[in-house]
Amino acid sequence: IDAVVDRTADVIERIAAEVEVINRAVFARPRDRSFEDFLYRLGRAQTTNAKIRDSLVSLARLASFASLAGEIETDREHREHLK
């Protein structure tokens, strides 16, 4: 899990840096330049962030379930429910 968290943090930092570059470029662009490239790059960053969020939610659910493993193992009703 530590490796997944470290990798996720690296990706988040990379995406944040990319968004900052885009932010600066938008306001420094010549007036005649289109926003199309910026929107495309922001869309890619948003897609990556959404995937990271989904992964983190899944990890949180897994951690929550793992923390209850002892309780589930000792409770017959819980074990039956999981079958």
Q: Could you read off the pLDDT tens digit of each residue along the chain, which spans 83 residues?
A: 788 888 999 999 999 999 999 999 998 988 888 899 999 999 999 999 999 999 989 888 888 887 877 777 777 776 677 66
Query: For residue 39, what pLDDT is reported?
Result: 93
pTM value?
0.68
Query: For residue 45, what pLDDT is reported?
Result: 94
Query: For residue 4, what pLDDT is reported?
Result: 85
Q: For residues 6 and 42, what is the distance between their CA atoms, to the nearest angstrom?
A: 23
